[in-house]
Amino acid sequence: MNINLKTVILYFLIGIGFGGIIYSLTLLANGAVTQTVGHIVTVVLVSGCMGLVSLIFELEKPAFSWRLFLHFLLIYSLFLFLNWQVDTEVHLFSLYSLLQFIVIYLLVWLVVVYLTQQKVAKINEKLRERKESLDKGH
C-alpha cells in the first residue's frame, strides 16, 4: 500500500475507532460515571496516534518481527501516556498494567486478523466469480 495522506487519515480514524471502543468498554468495566472533555479529547488524539503507529506494517523493512516489536513498544508507550493523562492508576513497572495491555493488544490483533481474513475471502470470491464468468464466455 502506498502511504499517502488518504492512508494516514484512514489509519488515524481507525485508531480513533479502536481506541474509543476500548476506552468505553474500560469505563464500563470500571464503573466510571463521568468523563471530562479533556479526557475524551486526549483519548481521541492518542488513539489516532496509535492508528498512525500501525502504518509501520505498511513498510517492507525491517522484518515483520521487528516491526511488531516496535509497534508493541510504541503502542504500550502511548497506552501509558494516555493513562497518565486521564489520571488512572497505571504504572510503568506494574505487572498488572502490562498484562492488561497485553490482553487488549492481543484482542485487537484478533479482530484485525479476522477482518483481514474476511476482506481476503471477499476478494477471492469476486476473483473466483470473475474467472467462472470468463470461463463460461469462452
**What confidence tens digit (pLDDT) does each residue in 80-121 have?**
888 888 877 667 678 888 888 899 899 999 998 999 999 999
pLDDT of residue 132: 85
Grid cell, residue 44, equals 481521541
Out of 36-40, 68-72, 77-81, the most confident range is: 68-72
Contacts of 56 (CB under 8 A, 6+ apart): 67, 70, 71, 74
CA-nearest of 116, 18, 4 to 75 is 18
| Single-letter code of the amino acid located at 109 | W
Residue 138 pLDDT greater than 80, yes or no: no
Residue 54 pLDDT greater than 90, yes or no: yes
Indicate the number of domains in the chain.
1
101-107 contacts, C-beta under 8 A, 24 or more apart: 101/76, 104/22, 105/72, 105/75, 105/76
CA angle 52, 82, 15 (to 5 degrees): 30
Residue % of the chain over a pLDDT of 70: 93
Residue 50 pLDDT greater than 90, yes or no: yes
**Structural domain boundaries, residue 106:** 5-137
Residue 1 pLDDT greater than 90, yes or no: no
Mean pLDDT computed over 66-76 = 94
